[in-house]
């Protein structure tokens, strides 16, 4: 039997993103990792550090998608309220997690294991830890909700490792055909070819470089031979109208 593709949603939490101070690169990193294992990311959202908003969004996402990733809000300060919110979303208590505390105690000497840092050991009662090889304080998951810190360097290392353990379902195959012609010129043709290969996803992405512009067409799907067939057909057409296609 054919495996079903898994779906995912990402929630990034942080006022600094919504005020424009910070560009969210975490969701892009997670999207890439998910794409590589064949999980379809269906939605990314960014919301404020507000408990009710986090609870609401987590509950919507966890019923809608197979996997939910959150980033941000599990550090030692007053605005780090993600762990508490996740606990409430699942109707669980927020408790001192012994293993998390042990790790913090081992990492910090007594005089710098402040009350603020110890806060990072309080997790939903049924949380399982996700290792943090960079700064010790762990991420965690409850059922299908995976909770990561917001600092990109730490999140990336943790997610990269964690994603290996997920069941990714079927992989994507992908080909790119680029041309120096514009979308306005090839648009009608691409619409036709999309109809012909309706079970593939053909995306059209204009690019602008210093001295040139053009379009990259990305052909994506489950069936490798069909992806190649469609790509070659597009390549031949663009060549026939002198569009200088490249395929890769």
Contact residues for its own copies, defined by CB under 8 A: 15-25, 27-35, 40-49, 75-79, 108, 112, 114-117, 119, 151, 153, 183-188, 190-191, 194, 201-206, 208, 218, 220
3-state secondary structure of 175: strand
- Distance, CA of 197 to chain centre: 27
Rank residues 86 and 104 by Cβ distance to its own copies and give the closer one. Answer: 104
- Name the E strands within 30-144: 40-47, 67-71, 94-96, 122-124, 128-130, 139-142
Report the C-alpha gap between 200 and 213 in whole angstroms: 25
Rank residues 143 and 187 by Cβ distance to its own copies and give the closer one. Answer: 187
Report the C-alpha gap between 4 and 109 in whole angstroms: 48
Rank residues 55 and 92 by Cβ distance to its own copies and give the closer one. Answer: 55
Nearest approach, Cβ of residue 163 and its own copies (Å): 12
Nearest approach, Cβ of residue 201 and its own copies (Å): 7
Report the C-alpha gap between 150 and 152 in whole angstroms: 6
- Using CB atoms within 10 Å of the CB of residue 167, give its burial: 0 to 12 exposed, 13 to 18 middle, 19+ buried: exposed
Rank residues 26 and 88 by Cβ distance to its own copies and give the closer one. Answer: 26
Nearest approach, Cβ of residue 126 and its own copies (Å): 26
Rank residues 108 and 162 by Cβ distance to its own copies and give the closer one. Answer: 108
Report the C-alpha gap between 76 and 140 in whole angstroms: 15
Rank residues 92 and 151 by Cβ distance to its own copies and give the closer one. Answer: 151
Sheet containing strand 173-179, edge to edge, reads 201-208, 213-221, 173-179, 246-247
Written as six digits, the tokens of 127 are 């949380």
């Amino acid at each position: 039997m054919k495996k079903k593709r898994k779906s995912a949603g990402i929630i990034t939490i942080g006022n600094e993103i919504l005020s424009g101070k910070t560009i969210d690169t975490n969701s892009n990193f997670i999207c890439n990792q998910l794409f590589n294992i064949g999980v379809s990311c269906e939605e990314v959202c960014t919301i404020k550090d507000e408990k009710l908003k986090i609870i609401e969004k987590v509950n919507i996402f966890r019923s809608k998608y197979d996997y939910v990733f959150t980033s941000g809000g599990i550090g030692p300060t007053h605005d780090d309220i993600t762990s508490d919110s996740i606990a409430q979303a699942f109707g669980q208590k927020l408790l001192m997690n012994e293993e998390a505390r042990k790790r913090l105690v081992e990492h910090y000497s007594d005089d710098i294991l402040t009350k603020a840092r110890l806060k990072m050991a309080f997790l939903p009662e049924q949380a399982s830890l996700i290792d943090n090889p960079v700064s010790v304080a762990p991420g965690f998951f409850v059922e299908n909700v995976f909770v990561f810190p917001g600092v990109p360097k730490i999140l990336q290392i943790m997610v990269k490792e964690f994603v290996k353990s997920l069941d990714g379902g079927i992989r994507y195959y992908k080909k790119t055909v680029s041309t120096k012609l514009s979308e306005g010129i090839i648009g009608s043709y691409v619409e036709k070819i999309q109809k012909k290969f309706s079970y593939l996803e053909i995306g059209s992405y204009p690019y602008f470089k210093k001295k040139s512009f053009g379009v990259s067409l990305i052909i994506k799907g489950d069936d490798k031979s069909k992806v190649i067939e469609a790509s070659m057909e597009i390549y031949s057409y663009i060549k026939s109208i002198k569009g200088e296609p490249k395929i890769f």
